[in-house]
Amino acid sequence: MNAVQHSGTVTLETERLILRRFAPEDAQPMFDNRASDAQAAEYMTWAPHENIGITQALIQEWIAAYDRPENDNRVPVRKSDGMQIGNISVVHQCAETACAAPGRCLSRALRGQGYMPQAAEAVLQYLFETVGFRRIEAAHSAESPKSGRVMQKIGMTKEGVLRQHGFVRGKAADEVWYSILADEYRSRDHGTAQ
């Protein structure tokens, strides 16, 4: 098995998006379009940001983490107008098993427009083809079944439900897990995810 070769958070591009590193000026748009939105955070592990200072501090932490080659954290922005659609990052990885788990958050105003499947497909391709992971896995709260659509659209297979494995809104929650293996990814059609 080939070893995972990290190359940090490099810029990726799709038909409609540029997926780049966060910068300090991203704090206000992030706060306005999702970080302060209680509904956007409803099934996330984090609480809505009460003020812009929390968002600014978080982005500063993320920027400092770019010094580590294993860090992978991007803000997808629309090519048409530079608007942030959300964020997508590797939230867990294991070098020994060559496995990575990306997480994502999307602005509510942009849901259902095909942006997140396109961003997730670009990250999936990068993690398999450039970094060399052999398995990509992801989960969503069982209370939010629509969250699984992105995973399905990029060819991931539902593996099952881990009961009370997650933590949402201050309580244990069931998680639905999906995965895709490198050989499955390489054998499928790589059309644009919609």
Question: From first to last of its 194 residues, what are the pLDDT tens digits of the chain?
Answer: 468 999 889 999 999 999 999 999 999 999 999 888 888 777 777 888 999 999 999 999 999 999 999 999 999 999 999 999 999 999 999 989 999 999 998 888 888 899 999 999 999 999 999 999 999 999 998 988 888 999 999 999 999 999 999 887 778 889 999 999 999 999 986 554 44
124 in a structural domain? yes
92 in a structural domain? yes
194 in a structural domain? no
| β-strand partners of 177 | 139, 160
Q: Which residue has the tokens 């997730």?
A: 120
Q: Which residue has the tokens 């992105």?
A: 150
2 in a structural domain? no
77 in a structural domain? yes
Structural domain span for residue 17: 12-187
111 in a structural domain? yes
| β-strand partners of 107 | none
171: left (phi over 0), alpha (psi -120 to 50) or beta: beta
Total number of domains in the chain: 1
Contact 147, 112 (CB under 8 A): no
Residue 110: what pLDDT?
87
Residue 190: what pLDDT?
57
Please state the pTM of the whole predicted model: 0.90
CATH number at residue 28: 3.40.630.30
d(CA 13, CA 77): 10
Residue 42: what pLDDT?
78
> For residue 113, what are its two tokens?
């427009």
193 in a structural domain? no
177 in a structural domain? yes
